[in-house]
């Protein structure tokens, strides 16, 4: 098994640990080693998701109003049913 690695974050310069378990997971998914610490990765993810334009929709399962990061099309026009976050997460858990 590989040893833990110390990596310097390309954004903030902090040193973070890339554990042997994480290395194994990344290798199994054919991913390269991370270049940013967890805090900088989370900040970049938040920045990217914060720029998304949200669109109003109605959940096809519970009927509640929700917002989605894509412009929904009516099912009659070839669109797919839209689920709110709670219904979507429940369908993934099943």
Under the banding of pLDDT at 50, 70 and 90, the label for residue 92 is: confident
Distance CA 40, CA 36 (A): 6
Q: Which residues contact 82 (CB under 8 A, 6 or more apart)?
A: 57, 58, 59, 60, 66, 68, 72
Instruction: Select from 1, 31, 33, 38 the least CA-distant residue to 16.
Output: 38
Phi, psi of 38 (to 5 degrees): -60, -40
64 with 81, same domain: the answer is yes
State the residue range of the domain holding 39. Answer: 5-50
40 with 9, same domain: the answer is yes
For residue 1, pLDDT beyond 70: no
**Mean pLDDT estimate for the chain:** 90
Q: Is the pTM for the entire model greater than 0.75?
A: no
Q: Which of 31, 50, 69 is the last residue of a domain?
A: 50
59 with 45, same domain: the answer is no
What are the residue ranges of helices labelled H in 2-84? 20-28, 38-50
Under the banding of pLDDT at 50, 70 and 90, the label for residue 45 is: confident
């Amino acid at each position: 098994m590989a040893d833990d690695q110390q990596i310097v974050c390309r954004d903030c310069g902090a040193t973070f640990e890339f554990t042997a378990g994480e290395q194994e997971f990344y290798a199994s998914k054919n991913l390269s080693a991370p270049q940013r610490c967890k805090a900088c990765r989370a900040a970049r993810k938040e920045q990217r998701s914060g720029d998304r334009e949200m669109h109003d929709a109605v959940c096809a399962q519970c009927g509640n109003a929700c917002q989605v990061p894509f412009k929904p099309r009516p099912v009659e026009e070839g669109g797919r049913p839209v689920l709110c976050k709670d219904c979507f997460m429940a369908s993934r858990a099943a």
